[in-house]
Every structure is written in C-alpha cells, then in structure tokens.
Amino acid sequence: MSTKAFFPGSFDPLHLGHLDVIVTAVDLFGDVVVGTMYNPSKTSGLFNLEERQSMIIESTSHLAGVEVRSFEGLVVDAAKAVGADFIVKGVRTGGDFEIEMQMAHTNLFVGGMKTVLLPTSSTWSFVSSRFVREISHYRGDVSHLVPPAVASRLAALAQGK
C-alpha cells in the first residue's frame, strides 16, 4: 500500500528549498501531491495559482510520483480532497518550527489530518520566496536559488515581459 502526502504552500514562487522538500518527500513516501494555495495572511502575491502551479509542474517533471494542483480554502480540505494520508511541511528555522507546530496541531484538531515536518537541507535553509521576489524585482540574479523554469519567468517579469 502506498502512502500519499500532501505538500501545501504559497510557492510564490517555488525555490530550491521547496524542491528539496519535495524530493525528500517522494523518497520517503513515493506519492506526493504539491498544492499551491493562497495564504490568507499574505495579501500581495506575485504569481497567480495557475502560474505557480505550472512552474512547479515544469520543475518537478523529472520526478516520478509528484502531482501538482492548486486549491482555495483550507489545507485540511485540500488534503482530504486528494485522498492524502497526511500533510508534509518543510522547516528551515526555529521560527518556522514554532509556526508549523501550531498549524500541525490545529490541522489535527480541526481536520483530523496529521502533519509530518521535514527539515529543509541546510544548503537551502536561508532561501525564502519573499527574498527571491525582492531580489528579482531589483533585477538581481536568483538563478542559483530557484529552478530554471522559475528563474526564466522571474527574469521575463523583471524585464517587463
């Protein structure tokens, strides 16, 4: 019997830390659904859900066992809709850990869904989508922080295309 994990996130945009968590989750569980979602506490987004989804599809096309979808609403409802056994989240820092623990307990309490927290590789533990957006906005080079599909989309945006 295979185990299905649901990895939700804003992914605005996907960076190499996210990709590292996806690779680890596939290694561990075999079947991973990546869900792009709006975070209600993050009002100003750069890409819409479909754009985020298509960049993730392109960036994970080499990985068997990964499906990429987008959802609105609660994480627990999206996880149940795809038939996931549990939620997977990446943890970079102690700050992430505190937030993710609180969400994990809440999602178990309100939705009955368990969460597995995976540490992001130390190589990428400093990377955040927010800083990727900022650097790219000012035409800095982010090609070593994000997959090629994301780097080219950001470069086009920075050049006004």
Active site residues: 18, 42, 92, 129
Amino acid at 44: S
Give the one residue of 57, 74, 118, 135 binding ligand PNS; rule: CB under 6 A: 74
| Cβ distance to ligand PNS smaller for residue 7 or 160 | 7
Closest separation in Å from C-beta 127 to ligand PNS: 12
CB burial class (10 A; 0-12, 13-18, 19+) of residue 161? exposed
DSSP letters, 98-149, are: HHHHHHHHHHHHHH---EEEEEPPGGGTT--HHHHHHHHHTT---TTTS-HH
Which of residues 8 and 29 has its CB atom nearest to ligand PNS in the complex?
A: 8
Residue 9 found at the interface with ligand PNS (CB under 6 A): yes
Taken as a whole, the chain contains a residue count of: 161
For residue 112, count other CB atoms closer than 10 A to its CB.
Answer: 9
Closest contact distance (angstroms) between CB of 49 and ligand PNS is 11
Q: Does 37 bind ligand PNS (CB under 6 A)?
A: yes
Q: Is 93 one of the binding residues for ligand PNS (CB under 6 A)?
A: no
Q: Identify which of 128, 123, 116, 105 has the alpha carbon closest to the alpha carbon of residue 25.
A: 116
Q: Which is nearer to ligand PNS, 52 or 153 (CB)?
A: 52
Which of residues 53, 59, 70, 107 is near ligand PNS by CB under 6 A? Answer: 107
Size of the site for ligand PNS (CB under 6 A): 12
What is the dihedral sign for C-alpha 132, 138, 144, 149? positive
The contact set with ligand PNS (CB under 6 A) reads: 8-10, 37, 39-40, 42, 74-75, 103, 106-107
